[in-house]
């Protein structure tokens, strides 16, 4: 009896690997094209760190005319949840990052290299495991969980490395006959890789992001096929990324220490190893302590959070590119209007350690992006968000023509308004432009704050200076006049030069008008606001503020 008999006993009726090698052809892509993937487990939660990895992967694939595919890693069936795939697919869709190949909903997929869902690839993994068994590079292990537990306890007591290796790898020692007999006797088993590595030898590895790293060789006989017949992550990774033609494995750096094992698996399977690019996690500053963004503690760790808050997907992506590469910000400054896809991301320039997630910065990026949108775009996105999350805003936006005027204020010019960072800001940002939302209980504090002066300014303005048809220059000149008439400085400069001579200046007079019109001290361009409100409403609001 030999390894062939053993392999046939463990994996009866499984195809030869030649079948799969033949079936999945080498991809026909331009020189230098990067093929990479996003390979999440369908746990029902898409972490922003996962999206970040996917963005990096997709970006480098796109910029090299390569392929970005989605593989569902569902071999740990305990962790799986219902509709987990839908969550992943929708997250990618929301961020306009749908893959070229892979799962497109719970049951369907596109692409020639599938199935892209690991639980459907059982026979493929078994074919490759069988191939290893045939060569004596994998073997059945009959150790029970209790056996492994007591082995571990012994190792810990003796203060030596834990694991299934060397002399500790008990089931390695059985002869083929013994293995076959045990199986025939109905003993349960899993399949382990027989590592040829030695812990006292080093391997040199070049990671595309982390650079050169030295590791001891792997000597652990890891499990490759579990009791349920499905592979472990390590084995599935080697088989899938080989057959799917992955050129670059871009993944979280928690896997960096598994590289020696993975390289060994590729080698023993006779595969050409891919390049690895290990991405540092996104960190958070928690009262001075740097820690990973946590699914349990941080709402912003969930990709859904951004959708619910109404932070545009494109802003999140841009921000993530900022985190990925320090040169992005500069590029953006030099190319304020170019689509982010024109930026070239270089994996080898990515940050080696975890970047800090900064919500303020993200919202700044978002503000800048929204400021460059047309009124029509702002309207469309706000409405889309409101339809899902805010009925009141949805109602406000029903009069599209008026809403476009409101969103059009200070937009489309050199220095557009930058007051909206997310769609959930919109209601508060524009409410004063709607009479039924504009009820003032108290006007905010301002420099000219005594009732008498305010009344006088407003009265004078209504009676003497306001004319709806004035152009902007004329409009502003009149406010200056008014300031002069009230004894305030007509120019800010003048006020600054002689602060003792004046109680206030023209800007403070403008503020009186602004506060009366909007109940805010800070708004976009007041001239435009007045134009959109129209004469009747302007006068009504100014008059109300004199009461």
Site residues for ligand GLU per CB under 6 A: 39-41, 73, 237, 249, 251-252, 255
To ligand GLU, the closest distance from the beta carbon of 88 in angstroms equals 10
Helix (H, G, I), strand (E, B) or coil at 310: coil
Q: CB 39 → ligand GLU: shortest distance, Å?
A: 4
In angstroms, what is the minimal distance from the CB of 241 to ligand GLU?
8
Shortest distance, position 319 Cβ to ligand GLU, whole Å: 22
Nearest approach in angstroms of CB 1 to ligand GLU is: 37
Smaller CB distance to ligand GLU: residue 249 or 448?
249
Helix (H) or strand (E) holding 205: strand 202-207
- Indicate the SS3 state at residue 505: strand
* Closer residue to ligand GLU in complex, CB, 118/424: 118
By C-beta, is 7 or 61 nearer to ligand GLU?
61
Q: Which is nearer to ligand GLU, 244 or 533 (CB)?
A: 244
Q: What's the min distance (Å) between Cβ of 195 and ligand GLU?
A: 20
Partner residues linked to 110 by β-bridges: 102
- Give φ, ψ of 403 to 5 degrees: -60, -40
CA atoms of 103 and 92, how far apart (whole Å): 11
Closest to ligand GLU by CB, 58 or 541: 58
H helices within 358-444, ranges in order? 359-371, 375-389, 391-396, 400-408, 426-430
Q: Which helix (H) or strand (E) holds 206?
A: strand 202-207
For ligand GLU, which is the closer residue by CB, 235 or 381?
A: 235
b/e string for 436-459 if b means 16 or more Cβ within 10 A? Answer: eebeeeebeeeebeeeebbebbbe
User: What size, in residues, is the chain?
Assistant: 547
CB atoms within 10 A of CB 194: 17
- Residues β-bridged to residue 67: 35
User: By the 8 A CB rule, do 537 and 435 touch?
Assistant: yes
Neighbours of 119 (CB within 10 A): 16
Q: Residue 417's closest CA among 529, 542, 541?
A: 529
Least separation in angstroms between CB 274 and ligand GLU: 10
Q: Min. distance of Cβ 116 from ligand GLU in angstroms?
A: 13
Euclidean distance between CA atoms 387 and 423, whole angstroms:
11
The answer for residues whose C-beta is within 8 angstroms of residue 61's C-beta and 6 or more apart is 33, 34, 35, 36, 67, 68, 100
Nearest CB to ligand GLU, comparing residues 237 and 505: 237
Report d(CA 516, CA 119) in Å as an integer: 65
> Torsions phi, psi of 458, nearest 5?
-65, -45
Q: Measured from the CB of residue 250, what is the shortest distance to ligand GLU in angstroms?
A: 7
In the complex with ligand GLU, the residue whose CB is nearer, 115 or 408, is 115
Provide, rounded to whole angstroms, the least separation between the CB of residue 425 and ligand GLU. 34
- 185 preceded by a cis bond (ω within 30 of 0): no
CB closer to ligand GLU, 130 vs 251: 251
Q: Based on CB atoms, which residue is closest to ligand GLU, 73 or 508?
A: 73
């Amino acid at each position: 009896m030999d390894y062939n008999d053993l392999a046939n006993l463990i994996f009866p009726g499984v195809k030869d690997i030649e079948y799969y090698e033949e079936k999945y052809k080498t991809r026909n892509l331009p020189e230098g094209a990067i093929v990479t993937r996003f390979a999440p487990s369908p746990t029902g939660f898409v972490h922003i760190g996962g999206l970040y990895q996917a963005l990096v992967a997709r970006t480098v694939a796109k910029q090299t005319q390569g392929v970005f595919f989605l593989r569902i890693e569902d071999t740990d069936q305990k962790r799986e949840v219902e509709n987990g795939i839908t969550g992943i697919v929708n997250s990618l869709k929301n961020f306009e990052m749908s893959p070229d190949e892979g799962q497109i909903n719970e049951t369907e997929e596109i692409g020639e290299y599938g199935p892209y869902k690991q639980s459907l690839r059982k026979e493929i993994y078994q074919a490759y495991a069988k191939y290893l068994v045939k060569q004596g590079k994998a073997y059945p292990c009959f150790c029970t969980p209790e056996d492994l537990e007591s082995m571990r306890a012994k190792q810990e007591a003796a203060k030596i490395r834990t694991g299934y290796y060397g002399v500790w790898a008990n089931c390695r020692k059985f002869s083929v006959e013994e293995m076959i007999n045990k199986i025939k006797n109905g003993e349960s088993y899993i399949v382990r890789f027989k590592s040829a590595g030695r812990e006292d030898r080093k391997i040199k590895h070049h990671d595309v992001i982390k650079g050169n790293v030295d590791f001891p060789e792997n000597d652990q006989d890891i499990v490759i096929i579990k009791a349920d017949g499905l592979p472990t992550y390590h084995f599935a990774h080697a088989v899938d990324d080989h057959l799917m033609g992955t050129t670059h494995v871009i993944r979280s750096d928690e896997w960096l220490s598994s590289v020696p094992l993975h390289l060994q698996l590729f080698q023993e399977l006779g595969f050409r190893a891919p390049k690895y690019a290990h991405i540092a996690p996104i960190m958070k500053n928690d009262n001075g302590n740097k820690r990973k963004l946590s699914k349990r503690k941080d709402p912003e760790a969930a990709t859904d959070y951004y959708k619910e808050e109404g932070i545009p997907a494109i802003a999140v992506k841009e921000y993530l590119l900022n985190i990925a590469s320090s040169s992005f910000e500069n590029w953006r400054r030099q190319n304020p209007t170019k689509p982010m896809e024109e930026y070239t991301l270089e994996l080898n320039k990515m940050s080696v350690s975890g970047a800090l997630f900064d919500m303020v910065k993200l919202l700044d990026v978002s503000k800048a992006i929204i400021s460059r949108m047309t009124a029509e775009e702002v309207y469309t996105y706000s409405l889309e968000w409101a339809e899902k999350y805010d009925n009141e805003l949805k109602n406000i936006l029903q009069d599209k023509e008026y809403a476009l005027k409101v969103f059009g204020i200070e937009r489309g010019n050199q220095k557009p308004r930058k007051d909206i960072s997310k769609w959930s800001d919109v209601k508060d940002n524009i409410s004063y432009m709607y009479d039924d939302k504009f009820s003032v209980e108290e006007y905010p504090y301002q420099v000219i704050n005594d009732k008498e002066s305010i009344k006088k300014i407003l009265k004078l303005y209504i009676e003497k200076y306001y004319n709806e048809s004035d152009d902007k220059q004329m409009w502003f000149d009149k406010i200056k006049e008014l300031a002069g008439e009230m004894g305030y400085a007509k120019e800010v400069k003048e006020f600054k030069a002689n602060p003792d001579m004046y109680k206030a200046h023209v800007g403070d007079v403008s503020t009186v008008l602004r506060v009366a019109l909007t109940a805010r001290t800070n708004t976009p361009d007041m001239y435009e606001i007045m134009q959109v409100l129209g004469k009747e409403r302007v006068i009504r609001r100014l008059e109300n503020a004199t009461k």
